[in-house]
Amino acid sequence: MSVYSSGGGGLESLPSDIEKMLENIDDPETGFFGPGSVSWRVNRENAILVAGASAALLQVAHPKVAAGVSEHSSFEDDAVGRFQRTFDIVDDVSFGAAEDAVAASVRVRDIHDDVHGELTEDVGPYEAGESYSANDPELLLWVYATLIEQALQGYRTFVGTLTRGERERYYRESEEFAVLMGVPREMVPDSLDEFYSYYRGVIETEVAVGSKAERIRDALLGQWTGLKAPLELLAAGAMPADVRRKYGFKWSAGRRTAYRRFASLTRATVPRLPYRARFNDRYLESLRRLDLEPVDASESLLSLPPSRTPW
């Protein structure tokens, strides 16, 4: 059986970059990462989703991404669902078998084929009338970068520490995710340092919050009844200061202290959570699929002896 088939097609129906990735995969059942990866260790943590609103808003802080989301999705009615579907794709690629990851990749690329248009306003360095396309490698690279940077920051802030080597390894592993999402491999920065240099450069030269990004911000934060204020605090706290200011989020010593206290409390709580509460459902499904030794529901994986820790 082919890893991916659609309309009776097999591997020949896949883009050449995905075919090449499949040729190099060790075990299709474990997928592109697997239980020994830093990607599993980081992405399994539900706590990193605290940075999810920030990641979403960072994506649409790029005017062309904001235009695509605003004009080609139902974000005003279902902003939370729109961005949750993005994180579901991350889970499929992170924890799924190769078949699941490839299917997610093809699904995203098919959706992106229909997302294109022209800017309707001047925003930052971009002028009304400029074209945009969701398949633009530069935009794909930016969306990928926000997900990776916020995952690393979310882990450090709300879960625990990673060594420099572990952060670098996570980044190197994430290149597979970038390519699956359509980013040409040669465009992915070669190292974590180069990645952060690229990330800061986009924020300095391309990020600008126009009316579309503001509407997305209001829709995303407003759909959480009664939680807008704390969600705004968490989103603002995880953002670079420049982007926070562009969104008009208020920030003060008191808000900074509240954010740090929440982060400290979360870090202290996470290791004590039962694994069903602590870990991503897709991760737990993958443990069962791979027939890894089950873990007692009252324990977290980090508290187990090494022989029972599936990474």
Q: What is the pLDDT of residue 86?
A: 76
Q: What is the pLDDT of residue 85?
A: 80
Give 10-residue mean pLDDT values along the chain (311 residues). 40 79 91 93 94 94 96 78 78 94 93 96 98 98 97 97 97 96 96 98 98 94 84 96 96 97 97 93 93 50 37 31
Q: Give the predicted TM-score (pTM) of the model.
A: 0.89
The residue to which tokens 């920065």 are assigned = 189
Nearest CA to 202 among 157, 151, 140?
140
Q: Exposed, middle or buried by CB within 10 Å (0-12, 13-18, 19+), for 166?
A: middle
Q: Exposed, middle or buried by CB within 10 Å (0-12, 13-18, 19+), for 105?
A: buried
How far apart are the C-alpha atoms of 154 and 217, rounded to whole Å?
20
Q: What is the pLDDT of residue 305?
A: 35
Cα–Cα distances (Å) from 256 to 56, 76, 233, 250, 262, in that order, read 21, 29, 9, 10, 10
Sort residue 182 into left (φ over 0), alpha (ψ -120 to 50) or beta. Answer: left
Question: Residue 30 CA to chain centroid, in angstroms?
Answer: 20
Residues in CB range of 183: below 8 A, 6 or more apart: 137, 140, 141, 144
Residue 54: HSE in the Cβ half-sphere, 13 Å Cα cutoff: 27
Sort residue 124 into left (φ over 0), alpha (ψ -120 to 50) or beta. Answer: left
Q: What is the pLDDT of residue 84?
A: 75
Helix (H) or strand (E) holding 116: strand 116-118
Count of helix runs (H) and strand runs (E) in the chain? 15, 2
Q: Are 133 and 29 in contact (CB under 8 A)?
A: no
